[in-house]
Amino acid sequence: MTITVCIKWVLPNRDGDERFAGISLADQAAVETGLSVAEALNDTCTVVTVGPPAAEASLRDALACGAHDVVRIDGSADTDSAETARLLAEHCVHSRFIVCGDYSADRGSGSVPALIAARLERGQALGLIDVRIVGESLSVVRRLDGGRREKLSIVGPAVISVEGSVARLRRASLRATLAAGEAHINVITNDGSGALRRNPETVPPRPYRPRARVVPSPSGSSALDRVRQITDTSSSKGHGETVVLSPEDAASRILESLRAWGYLADSAT
Amino acid sequence: MMTSPTQHDADIIVVGAGPAGSCAAIAAARAGKSVILIERGPFPGSKNMYGGVVYPRILDELVPSWWETMPVQRWVVKRSTMLLSDSGALNIDFRANSWGAPPYNGATAYRPDFDNWLANHAVEAGARLVCSTTVTGLLRDSNGRIQGVSTDRPDGDLHAPIVIACDGVNSFLAKQSGLYPHTDASNFTLGVKETLALPKHVIDERFGVRDNLGVDIEILGGTSGVNGGGFIYTNLDTIALGVVLKLPKLAAQQKRPEQIIAELKRHPAIAPLIEGAEVKEYSAHVIPEAGLDMMPTMVADGMLVAGDAAAMCLAAGIWLEGVNFAMASGMYAGQAAAEAIAKNDVSSRGLSGYTDRLEKSFVLRDHRKLRKVPHLVLSDRVQHKYPAFVAGVVERVFRVDNPHPKPGVRRIVREERKKAGIGLLDLLRDGWTGMRGFG
């Protein structure tokens, strides 16, 4: 079984300008949640969407972030929720967890995850504001009316939807981004009878994909310092390194690094 | 310097997918070299701004029949130069309808559209475009030779024997490589622009154009005492209005640029043109205006600098051009880089084909010819005294002041010159400099 993440690629307006198209923050959080869960459970993560060829840009982003497989089910960008859920459900039958965003970039009703759960007769936990992995299960917090919260433990198979605040999508590595740009995307077409047919010649070669890592939030006493840390290209980003040394050697090594990074004059001791 | 046998990710890395970067990538990819084009924004042009006219004839070499697909707002058929005094204006118009048909002359365009279009040609030529990626530095081998770039992405080092820096004005890469040893704020101006929305038919009526034909107005004066100039360009259903301000003067006068734009918009010659317009966008950008005097060394071992990063901006009064210089320098950089790879010599000597091309083309020849003009245009006399002087002369020439007889023009010129505080020697000196530059 695998972890399947369902995302919706959206054009922000009707003029067809694909430069501004993409997925919602909630869908990004869903991708990150799916990747994290797959890593923790030693499972695979597949990202799937129903959409036109232009939607493949978002799938490539997911691939670059570490998804093991991506699938586009061919359809128009404004396929209705029931049909979208039917197409996705058919593809997700063998999934352990199906992870969706709580809302799409066009502020949809968030009904697709519920419809998928109904079609597959799975348990569902929607509108999650926190997801933690505990052993083989998920410990989640769900927002209720009146400011209340509900804590649940989910073993799966199940459908969950997450809000955008649950996780921040990791930054893809450069090499994975380059590889994803040239990777084949699996495309599944609807043959007219309602059944889905996978395009046989599009089995992708796996791109070189080193594990993506989460970039830590900037630290600094003021907002300006933090913004500078992210945007100032003239400053060194530094390199993290863990070494085991005696206290004296460690102190020397720190001084050596500070000197190499330009924080200390050559003569400073 | 021969290319080392280390594993390279590409033959050439181009930093920045603006006009210079995309043209470099097109030229190099067409020559059969593998190219990675790195862009900081989410798509090419997403963070770029200008307030000007694109003169795309240089594209004849790279994109045949470019006018058929280029995302143009309006083809400029009318050029105006406006001299503003406090309350008056002298406007000199020129109209050429032939500029509204192939092969055209200049066009207004939105940079997010234009840059994206040009980058797509680079991708079609075979370049690999990577967006949302900031280049943070140069990679060097143990001998200090440039070997590629580092980026802000994890696992983000890329190796290539040649890096073409098209990372815009204030280029970090050119500085880091030591090609830009010092920068002087007086060589830069700050361009600020408002994009003002008006219905197309209103723009057509007010500016005397129709269909997709447009107007370019350059303004001298009207910048609230800060040295610089103004501009108005017509897009299809917006107007780009802005000012270009000399940085030290702006700092000394302690004025906000948006305040200066607001004052320009209130000028009696400008206000009727933009009445009822809605501000859709406000943007600002630093411009390298000192021409040849501020250009960095453009070639190093394994590295070329092009576009704004190489100060390829011509600010010579009646000629205000940048994008065409960027495209040309990018194209020549791409060609020279491909040539150097083919010769297996990426040293500065092997890359010298770049400067040879620049020297033989309009790029450096125009800059050499007009070397002193940017300083003249931004001088205090041209900025503050001449507009008032000219407006004063014209106002008196056309004023009918019966029962007094009309004064002679020579007398008016003499009196207005004295009133404006312009010495005869200064006038002759500036006239001579201008003649030498423009002549």
Contact call for A171 and B43, based on CB within 8 A: no
Residue B176 identity (one-letter amino acid): Q
Residue B288 is encoded by which pair of tokens?
């390298």
Q: How high is the mean pLDDT of chain B?
A: 90
* Residue A205 reports pLDDT greater than 90: no
- The predicted-structure confidence for B31-47, as pLDDT tens digits, reads as follows 999 999 999 999 999 88
* B263 and B167 together in one domain: no
What mean pLDDT comes out for the span A225-251?
76
What does the pLDDT read at residue A255? 87
Tell whether A260 lies on the interface with B, counting CB pairs under 8 A. Answer: no
* B364 and B383 together in one domain: no
What does the pLDDT read at residue A236? 52
* A135 and A241 together in one domain: no
What does the pLDDT read at residue B173? 92
Q: What is the DSSP string of B74-88?
A: EEEEEEEEEEE-SS-
> How large a percentage of chain A has pLDDT more than 90?
51
User: How near does any CA of chain B get to the CA of A173, in Å?
Assistant: 4
In-domain check, residue A266: no
Contact call for A174 and B154, based on CB within 8 A: yes
- Contact between residue A98 and residue A48 where contact means Cβ atoms under 8 Å apart: no
Tell whether A214 lies on the interface with B, counting CB pairs under 8 A. Answer: no
Please report residues of A whose CB lies closer than 8 A to that of B9: 178
ipTM above 0.85, yes or no: no
Contact call for A177 and B151, based on CB within 8 A: no
Taking the CA of residue B398 as centre, how many other CA atoms within 13 Å lie in the half-sphere pointing to its CB? 8
Which band of pLDDT confidence, cut at 50, 70 and 90, is reported for residue B432? confident
In-domain check, residue A87: yes
Angle (deg, nearest 10), helices B353-360 and B323-343: 140
Contact call for B137 and A171, based on CB within 8 A: no
The residue range of the domain holding A249 is 223-260
The residue range of the domain holding B403 is 379-438
Which band of pLDDT confidence, cut at 50, 70 and 90, is reported for residue A201? very low
- The predicted-structure confidence for B287-314, as pLDDT tens digits, reads as follows 888 888 888 899 999 999 999 999 888 8
* Residue A269 reports pLDDT greater than 50: no
What mean pLDDT comes out for the span A238-264?
80
Cα–Cα distance measured from residue A204 to residue B308, given in angstroms and rounded to the nearest whole number: 41
Nearest Cα to Cα of residue B391 among B82, B65, B53, B7: B82
* A178 and A239 together in one domain: no
* Beta bridge partner(s), residue B108: B53, B74
Contact call for A234 and B172, based on CB within 8 A: yes
* A35 and A86 together in one domain: yes
End position of a domain, from candidates B269, B288, B307:
B288
* Residue A268 reports pLDDT greater than 50: no
Contact call for B154 and A234, based on CB within 8 A: no
* Residue B24 reports pLDDT greater than 50: yes
End position of a domain, from candidates B350, B369, B388:
B369
Cα–Cα distance measured from residue A113 to residue A93, given in angstroms and rounded to the nearest whole number: 13
* B65 and B176 together in one domain: yes
Q: A202 or A62: which carries more pLDDT confidence?
A: A62
Q: What is the CATH number of the domain that holds B57?
A: 3.50.50.60
What mean pLDDT comes out for the span A103-132?
90
* A42 and A123 together in one domain: yes
In-domain check, residue B248: yes
φ and ψ at B220, to 5 degrees? -110, 130
User: How near does any CA of chain B get to the CA of A227, in Å?
Assistant: 14
* Beta bridge partner(s), residue B148: B139, B159
Nearest Cα to Cα of residue B34 among B174, B147, B135, B129: B129
- Contact between residue B38 and residue B135 where contact means Cβ atoms under 8 Å apart: yes
In-domain check, residue B101: no
End position of a domain, from candidates B239, B265, B288:
B288
Please report residues of B whose CB lies closer than 8 A to that of A234: 172, 175-176
Q: What is the DSSP string of B270-333?
A: THHHHTT-EEEEEEEEEEE-SGGGGPPP-EETTEEE-GGGGT--EEETTEEE-HHHHHHHHHHH
Please report residues of A whose CB lies closer than 8 A to that of B153: 171-174, 177
Residue B255: exposure state from Cβ atoms within 10 A (0-12, 13-18, ≥19): middle
* A153 and A228 together in one domain: no
* A74 and A154 together in one domain: yes
Which band of pLDDT confidence, cut at 50, 70 and 90, is reported for residue A88? very high
Number of folded domains in chain A? 2
- Choose among A177, A210, A237: nearest Cβ to B130: A177
Tell whether A237 lies on the interface with B, counting CB pairs under 8 A. Answer: yes
DSSP reduced 3-state for B145 = coil
Cα–Cα distance measured from residue A231 to residue A235, given in angstroms and rounded to the nearest whole number: 9
- The predicted-structure confidence for A133-174, as pLDDT tens digits, reads as follows 998 899 999 988 888 899 999 987 999 999 999 999 999 999
- Contact between residue A170 and residue A66 where contact means Cβ atoms under 8 Å apart: yes
Please report residues of A whose CB lies closer than 8 A to that of B112: 19
* Beta bridge partner(s), residue A171: A213
* B265 and B350 together in one domain: no
In-domain check, residue B310: yes
Q: Which residue of B has its CA nearest to A180?
A: B130
What does the pLDDT read at residue A193? 55
User: How near does any CA of chain B get to the CA of A168, in Å?
Assistant: 15
Residue B343 is encoded by which pair of tokens?
């010769």
* A46 and A169 together in one domain: yes
Chain B contact probe: residue of A19, A169, A232 with most B CBs at under 10 A:
A19
In-domain check, residue B104: no
Q: How high is the mean pLDDT of chain A?
A: 84
Number of folded domains in chain B? 3
In-domain check, residue B229: yes
Cβ neighbours for A221, distance < 8 A, ≥ 6 positions apart? none
In-domain check, residue A211: no
Residue B281 is encoded by which pair of tokens?
């966008």
- Contact between residue B357 and residue B336 where contact means Cβ atoms under 8 Å apart: yes
What does the pLDDT read at residue A198? 55
* B156 and B113 together in one domain: yes
* B166 and B132 together in one domain: yes
Contact pairs from chain A to chain B, CB under 8 Å: 54
* B66 and B31 together in one domain: yes
What mean pLDDT comes out for the span B68-80?
94
* A159 and A252 together in one domain: no
- Contact between residue B311 and residue B174 where contact means Cβ atoms under 8 Å apart: no
Q: What is the CATH number of the domain that holds A50?
A: 3.40.50.620
Q: Minimum mean pLDDT among A14-28, A218-232, B352-366: which range?
A: A218-232
In-domain check, residue B91: no
- The predicted-structure confidence for A171-193, as pLDDT tens digits, reads as follows 999 999 999 998 999 999 876 55
- The predicted-structure confidence for B193-213, as pLDDT tens digits, reads as follows 999 999 999 999 999 999 999
* Residue A14 reports pLDDT greater than 80: no
* Residue A194 reports pLDDT greater than 60: no
Contact call for A175 and B172, based on CB within 8 A: no
Which band of pLDDT confidence, cut at 50, 70 and 90, is reported for residue A202? very low
* A126 and A230 together in one domain: no
**Of A111-120, A205-214, B221-230, B245-254, where does the model show the most confidence?**
A111-120
Which band of pLDDT confidence, cut at 50, 70 and 90, is reported for residue A203? very low
> How large a percentage of chain B has pLDDT more than 90?
54
Between the alpha carbon of residue B212 and those of residues A132, B231, B254, B412, the distances in Å are 58, 19, 40, 42
User: How near does any CA of chain A get to the CA of B122, in Å?
Assistant: 15
- The predicted-structure confidence for A17-56, as pLDDT tens digits, reads as follows 788 889 999 999 999 999 999 999 999 999 999 999 999 9
Tell whether A253 lies on the interface with B, counting CB pairs under 8 A. Answer: no
In-domain check, residue A267: no
- The predicted-structure confidence for B85-113, as pLDDT tens digits, reads as follows 888 888 899 999 899 998 889 999 999 99
> How large a percentage of chain A has pLDDT more than 70?
83
For B286, other C-beta atoms within 10 Å of its C-beta total: 15
- Choose among A19, A178, A237: nearest Cβ to B130: A178
Residue A26 identity (one-letter amino acid): A
Chain B contact probe: residue of A65, A214, A215, A233 with most B CBs at under 10 A:
A233
Q: What is the CATH number of the domain that holds B275?
A: 3.30.9.90
* A140 and A8 together in one domain: yes
Contact call for B151 and A171, based on CB within 8 A: no
Q: Which helix (H) or strand (E) holds B233?
A: strand B228-234
Cα–Cα distance measured from residue B361 to residue A87, given in angstroms and rounded to the nearest whole number: 59
* B67 and B131 together in one domain: yes
* B240 and B125 together in one domain: no
* B283 and B299 together in one domain: no
User: How near does any CA of chain A get to the CA of B282, in Å?
Assistant: 20
* A194 and A227 together in one domain: no
